Amino acid sequence: MKIQVAIIGAGPSGLLLCRLLRLQGIDTVVLERKDRAYVEGRIRAGVLEQTTVDLFREAKVNERMDREGIIHQGFSISFAGRQERVDLSGHTGGKTVMVYGQTELTQDLFRALIEEDDAAIIFDAENVTPSNFLDGKPTISYQKDGVNYQLECEYIAGCDGYHGASRASVPKDKIQCFEKAYPFGWLGLLSDTPPVDKELIYVNHERGFALCSQRSLQRSRYYLQCELTDKAENWTAAQFWDELSRRIPQHNAEELVTGPALEMSIAPLRSFVAEPMRFGQLFLVGDAAHIVPPTGAKGLNLAASDVFYLSRALIARYGEGRVDLLARYSETALRRVWQAVRFSWWFTSITHKFNDEPIEQRFQLAELNYLFGSAAGQTTIAENYVGLPFEDFS
């Protein structure tokens, strides 16, 4: 089997890249280790930057998103008995974010690619191994139903996540990784209950961070900072609701609607960046190249940013014969990556409890007091939260 672009991973970034390329007549195939039901069922982020929304509209998978997505013009930060709102729209000239779940985005992409476009997506592909990408003749070997296959292609897009085969296939002497692990995790609970507030609430509390988020007007997502050694099975839904009520503002706690947990899990927090993001004919995309703490809602949006740059480069390659954009992909994508990684680290540093030292909490409170006493400080938060613009890449 020969193809122009092979994509490893059928998460949102891989599917979005596939869709954008196919709309331009570029032959693609997607290899996915799991089945469709598993991929569609994964619970992930749901806050979309305007640039991400625009990219899904370009991919013509926006009908349900535009109908069901919820526009947010701000969010709140609770600290020291105060609750202050960041006016995203007011501080960015009208820019907003949209709440629309990654699960829904993935379902929309599958419907467009499989049911409308008849795209080649190979599920249950095991032992996927990219090779020869440094020599200009990339191939991917894999197994399906016990049979060995080899795929020849011109380019490989590694959209297979932090633990995927793409980055692991790069020789160690050709890649540099930067990583910071945080001394806590997030315990998340998903429930079919109305959100406690119309906008997100980030909470800096002496008992630890909390976040009131949402997926729709009837589905909520809440988080609690927890120990890395903790386990989700140690918690009942009732215990979670009780602890959440202790951390969020009292008026929100009084209006909190509780219910059974659809899903509870604990995620560790880390900052991670791999450089470069191109190795010959192999390009890393999304979590394969970078991980951010979820505090700033940047994970999916950064993956979409990578897709923007790589799709432009590949479309220029096949439409105009240009290779200069492919050569610039890594350095261009990494500039935006590092900006988002920095913001996510900073936002985490002012909202979470890192230790019991009183001076550390005083530093946080001083920072928060400054930010909400300064229009420039709030603009800094707002500009980064709604997402910095893409560079001109033409």
Contact residues for 146 (Cβ-Cβ < 8 A; gap 6+): none
In this structure, are strands 2-8 and 278-279 parallel, antiparallel, or unpaired? unpaired
CA–CA distance, 210 with 204 (Å, rounded to integer): 7
Residue 46 has pLDDT above 90, yes or no: no
Name the residue with tokens 């900052």.
271
CA–CA distance, 217 with 224 (Å, rounded to integer): 21
Per-residue confidence (pLDDT) for residue 333, from 0 to 100: 98
Residues above pLDDT 70, as percent of the chain:
99
pLDDT band at 207 (very low <50, low <70, confident <90, very high): very high
Question: Which structural domains are found in the chain, ordered by start?
Answer: 2-49+101-180+270-352 (3.50.50.60)
Question: Could you tell me the two tokens for 165?
Answer: 């085969």
Question: Could you tell me the two tokens for 331?
Answer: 């350095």
Per-residue confidence (pLDDT) for residue 41, from 0 to 100: 82
Q: What is the pLDDT of residues 75-124, one digit of tens each?
A: 999 999 999 999 999 999 999 999 998 889 999 999 999 988 888 999 99
CA distance to 7, 169, 277, 349, 382, per residue, from 385 (Å): 29, 33, 24, 15, 5
Burial of 136 (0-12, 13-18, 19+ CB in 10 A): exposed
CA–CA distance, 97 with 90 (Å, rounded to integer): 13
Residue 1 has pLDDT above 90, yes or no: no
Per-residue confidence (pLDDT) for residue 238, from 0 to 100: 97
3-state secondary structure of 8: strand
CA–CA distance, 347 with 182 (Å, rounded to integer): 13
Can you state the percent helix, strand and coil of the chain, rounding each to 5? Answer: 40, 30, 30
Q: What is the pLDDT of residues 244-271, one digit of tens each?
A: 999 999 999 999 999 999 999 999 999 9
CA–CA distance, 294 with 28 (Å, rounded to integer): 31
In this structure, which amino acid lies at residue 245?
Answer: S
Q: How many CA atoms lie within 13 A of 389 on its CB side?
A: 5
pTM value is 0.95
Per-residue confidence (pLDDT) for residue 116, from 0 to 100: 87
Show the CA angle centred on residue 230, arms to residues 292 and 303, nearest 5°. 15
139-152: average pLDDT? 96
Q: Which residues are catalytic?
A: 72, 202, 294, 298, 385
Question: Could you tell me the two tokens for 259?
Answer: 């219910």
Q: What is the pLDDT of residues 280-335, one digit of tens each?
A: 999 999 999 999 999 999 999 999 999 999 999 999 999 999 999 999 999 999 99
Burial of 341 (0-12, 13-18, 19+ CB in 10 A): buried
Q: Where does the chain show beta strands of DSSP type E?
A: 2-8, 28-31, 47-49, 70-72, 74-79, 82-87, 97-99, 121-122, 126-131, 139-144, 147-158, 176-191, 201-204, 210-214, 220-226, 263-275, 278-279, 282-284, 290-291
In this structure, which amino acid lies at residue 308?
Answer: F
Q: What is the mean pLDDT of the chain?
A: 96
Residue 45 has pLDDT above 80, yes or no: no
